[in-house]
């Protein structure tokens, strides 16, 4: 089967219906664009939105190595616009768009098809392509919203959303409403002769409380003038603050794409790539690289750790060094994993001593998906032999990986099955990710030592380990 031409599917969790939906990527992007941008917007803006929606999904999709929706395990995305991304299905679109359903669907579908499989990447990785309604003058640096610095989410000055209804909005609150909403109290009682700096100052009143002279703003008035100008019935008056008006610029968090800005740029004739590169700093647009059966491990990072067999370095009865055997198998495993598309790091690539704590430090720094330690068994009895695989107690994913790898090793090497076991081993305990220790064979057993000395046998072991990892991800 040519997997490459198959349509990619998104596993969507519907939070309202509390059900799973499996949707083709194209249909998903149409629904996400419909949920996030008015369909009346110009085409280049809709195209920019389609690329953002697709990139956000791809960044989460498990098949591309994403971690999925962090709230709904096992799903790529949820349809909560405040969590992953909103989504409108056909029914919801018909309801919302009424007689314009056909027209809007055609328009959005065209924007999705015109940008088919294009995503935004930074350093060749899909970005967190966030968007907001209108920035109101400039977008925001990520650290001011999320607390961490993201290189492509930098503040840019944007005048393109100036025509939007959100550029500047005013909201008025009565003093009573303000007190209620903020749960605060302050004195707003009627006041005679109380100055409000900058507004009512230099009040001069008679003993009977009539205003003789007052400065309002930058003008000095006679009490009599005020009375006439404002139509008051006497000069014996007082005042209080009864409302406050807030002026707000923009709408939304201000990160990434300013949607009304994209609209403004599109109306000015900017093409979609210039719009996206304006709002996302230093990014590139790229066609999606599809994961295929020949590269099922794209997006995975795996650390392969060839053990030494103790500080002094174990060797078999005929003198075969464990450090050497482990390194040879580890190299073959690394090469095979890379051919499957994984990023692989060996904790040592020469037959030289690197301490265990240093190897663990290397692994933890890389934060891989799996740490795989390659070792050999040593049994006191020369006749005992076999394959044995370990995981750290409670490491659920580590246990699954160990079981897949072990099954393949037993099937292909056909040595005694010493089992898959939990073990409180330093290398498993100290690594911060799912980790597995494989003991391929018993170097203490002369027959297995002879096998381990053969390159074909070591390659067979490496292939079995790689197959185990592929099975784990394809399960
Ligand atoms: Zn989610
Ligand atoms: Zn803007």
135-167 per-position pLDDT tens digit = 999 999 999 998 899 999 999 999 999 999 999
Ligand 2 geometric centre to CA of 167 (Å)? 8
Question: Domain coordinates of the chain in residue numbers?
Answer: 3-164+251-287, 170-248, 301-474
What is the average pLDDT across 217-239? Answer: 92
DSSP E strands in 165-317: the ranges are 168-174, 200-205, 211-216, 219-222, 243-249, 257-258, 284-287, 301-306
**Is pLDDT larger for residue 87 or for residue 188?**
87
Residues bordering ligand 2, an ion, CB closer than 5 Å:
135, 158, 161, 258, 261
Ligand 2 geometric centre to CA of 137 (Å)? 5
pLDDT-based confidence at 292, cuts 50/70/90?
low
Ligand 1 geometric centre to CA of 120 (Å)? 20
Which ligand is closest to the CA of 78, given by its number? 1
pLDDT beyond 50 at 173: yes
pLDDT beyond 60 at 2: no
pLDDT beyond 70 at 311: no
Mean pLDDT of all residues belonging to the chain: 91
Ligand 2 geometric centre to CA of 228 (Å)? 46
Which ligand is closest to the CA of 258, given by its number? 2
pLDDT-based confidence at 192, cuts 50/70/90?
low
Structure tokens at 412: 């292909």
Sign of the Cα torsion 399, 401, 402, 403 reads positive
pLDDT at residue number 5: 44
Q: Give the integer Cα–Cα distance in Å for 31 and 109.
A: 10
pLDDT at residue number 440: 97
Ligand 1 geometric centre to CA of 158 (Å)? 29
Q: Give the integer Cα–Cα distance in Å for 280 and 367.
A: 26
pLDDT at residue number 6: 56
Instruction: Please state whether the predicted TM-score (pTM) of the whole model is above 0.75.
Output: no
Q: Give the integer Cα–Cα distance in Å for 223 and 60.
A: 69
**Is pLDDT larger for residue 415 or for residue 5?**
415
Ligand 2 geometric centre to CA of 356 (Å)? 52
pLDDT-based confidence at 43, cuts 50/70/90?
very high
Ligand 1 geometric centre to CA of 83 (Å)? 5
Which ligand is closest to the CA of 85, given by its number? 1
Share of the chain residues as helix, strand and coil, in percent rounded to the nearest 5? 35, 25, 40
pLDDT at residue number 312: 66
Ligand 2 geometric centre to CA of 164 (Å)? 9
Ligand 1 geometric centre to CA of 185 (Å)? 39
pLDDT beyond 80 at 1: no
CB atoms within 10 A of CB 202: 10
Which ligand is closest to the CA of 264, given by its number? 2
Answer whether CATH 3.40.630.40 is correct for domain 301-474. yes
Ligand 1 geometric centre to CA of 13 (Å)? 8
Summarize pLDDT for 382-427 with one digit per residue, the tens.
999 999 999 999 999 999 999 999 999 999 999 999 999 999 988 8
Question: Per-residue b/e over 258-272, b at no fewer than 16 CB within 10 Å?
Answer: bbbbbbbbbeeebeb
pLDDT at residue number 442: 95
Ligand 2 geometric centre to CA of 284 (Å)? 21
Ligand 1 geometric centre to CA of 85 (Å)? 7
Ligand 2 geometric centre to CA of 412 (Å)? 60
Cα–Cα distance list, 474 to 295, 404, 469 (Å): 12, 11, 9
Ligand 1 geometric centre to CA of 132 (Å)? 17
Summarize pLDDT for 71-126 with one digit per residue, the tens.
988 899 999 999 999 999 999 999 999 999 999 999 999 999 999 999 999 988 89
Which ligand is closest to the CA of 159, given by its number? 2
Q: Give the integer Cα–Cα distance in Å for 116 and 29.
A: 10
pLDDT at residue number 221: 95
pLDDT beyond 80 at 3: no
Ligand 2 geometric centre to CA of 467 (Å)? 50
DSSP for residue 119: E
Q: Give the integer Cα–Cα distance in Å for 466 and 298.
A: 14
Which ligand is closest to the CA of 81, given by its number? 1
Q: What ranges in 280-414 are assigned the alpha helix state H?
A: 322-339, 356-366, 396-413
**Is pLDDT larger for residue 64 or for residue 27?**
27
Summarize pLDDT for 316-335 with one digit per residue, the tens.
999 999 999 999 999 999 99
pLDDT at residue number 333: 96
CA atoms within 13 A on the CB side of 55: 29
Ligand 1 geometric centre to CA of 150 (Å)? 20
Ligand 2 geometric centre to CA of 446 (Å)? 73
Ligand 1 geometric centre to CA of 86 (Å)? 9
pLDDT at residue number 234: 93
pLDDT-based confidence at 189, cuts 50/70/90?
confident
Q: Please report, rounded to a whole number, the percentage of residues in the chain having pLDDT higher than 90.
A: 69
Q: What ranges in 270-351 are assigned the alpha helix state H?
A: 272-279, 322-339
Least confident of 225-239, 347-361, 382-396: 347-361
What burial class does residue 134 get, using C-beta atoms within 10 Å of its C-beta: 0-12 exposed, 13-18 middle, 19+ buried? buried
What is the average pLDDT across 162-180? Answer: 91
Which ligand is closest to the CA of 74, given by its number? 1
Q: Please report, rounded to a whole number, the percentage of residues in the chain having pLDDT higher than 70.
A: 96
Which ligand is closest to the CA of 66, given by its number? 1
Ligand 2 geometric centre to CA of 279 (Å)? 9
Q: Give the integer Cα–Cα distance in Å for 157 and 474.
A: 45
DSSP E strands in 35-94: the ranges are 77-78
Ligand 1 geometric centre to CA of 137 (Å)? 29
């Amino acid at each position: 089967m040519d997997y490459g031409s198959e349509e990619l599917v998104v596993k969507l969790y519907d939070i309202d219906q509390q059900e799973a939906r499996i949707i083709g990527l194209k249909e998903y992007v149409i629904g996400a664009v419909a949920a996030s941008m008015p369909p009346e917007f110009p085409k280049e803006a809709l195209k920019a939105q389609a690329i953002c929606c697709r990139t956000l999904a791809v960044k989460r999709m498990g098949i591309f190595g994403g971690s999925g929706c962090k709230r709904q395990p096992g799903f790529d995305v949820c349809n909560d616009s405040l969590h992953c991304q909103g989504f409108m299905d056909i029914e919801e679109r018909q309801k919302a768009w009424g007689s314009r359903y056909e027209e809007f669907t055609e328009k959005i579908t065209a924007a999705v098809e015109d940008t088919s499989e294009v995503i935004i990447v930074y350093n060749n990785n899909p970005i967190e392509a966030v968007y907001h309604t209108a920035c109101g003058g400039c977008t925001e640096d990520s650290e001011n919203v999320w607390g961490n610095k993201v290189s492509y989410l930098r503040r840019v000055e944007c005048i393109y959303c100036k025509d939007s209804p959100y550029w500047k909005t005013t909201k008025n609150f009565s003093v009573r409403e303000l007190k209620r909403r903020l749960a605060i109290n302050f004195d707003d009682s009627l006041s005679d002769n109380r100055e409000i700096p900058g507004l009512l100052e230099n009040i001069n009143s008679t003993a009977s409380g009539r205003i003789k002279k007052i400065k309002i703003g930058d003008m000095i008035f006679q009490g009599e003038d005020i009375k006439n100008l404002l139509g008051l019935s006497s000069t014996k008056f007082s005042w209080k603050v009864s409302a406050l008006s807030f002026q707000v610029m923009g709408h939304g968090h201000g990160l990434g794409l300013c949607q009304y800005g994209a609209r403004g740029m599109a109306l000015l004739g900017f093409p979609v790539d210039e719009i996206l590169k304006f709002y996302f700093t230093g990014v590139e647009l790229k066609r999606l690289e599809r994961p295929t059966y020949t590269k099922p491990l794209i997006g995975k990072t795996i650390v392969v750790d060839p053990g030494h067999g103790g500080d002094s370095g174990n060797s078999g009865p005929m003198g075969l060094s464990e450090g050497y055997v482990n390194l040879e198998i580890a190299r073959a495993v690394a090469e095979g994993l890379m051919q499957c598309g994984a990023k692989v790091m060996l904790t040592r690539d020469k037959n030289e001593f690197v301490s265990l704590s240093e190897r663990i430090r290397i692994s933890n720094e890389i934060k891989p998906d799996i740490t795989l330690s390659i070792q050999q068994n040593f049994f006191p009895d020369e006749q005992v032999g076999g394959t044995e695989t370990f995981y750290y107690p409670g490491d659920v994913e580590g246990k699954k990986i160990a079981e897949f790898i072990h099954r393949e090793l037993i099937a292909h090497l056909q040595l005694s099955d010493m089992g898959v076991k939990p073990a409180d081993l330093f290398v498993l305990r100290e690594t911060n990710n799912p980790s597995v220790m494989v003991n391929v064979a018993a170097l203490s057993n002369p027959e297995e030592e002879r096998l381990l000395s053969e390159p074909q046998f070591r390659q067979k072991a490496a292939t079995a380990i790689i197959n185990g990892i592929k099975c784990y991800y394809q399960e």
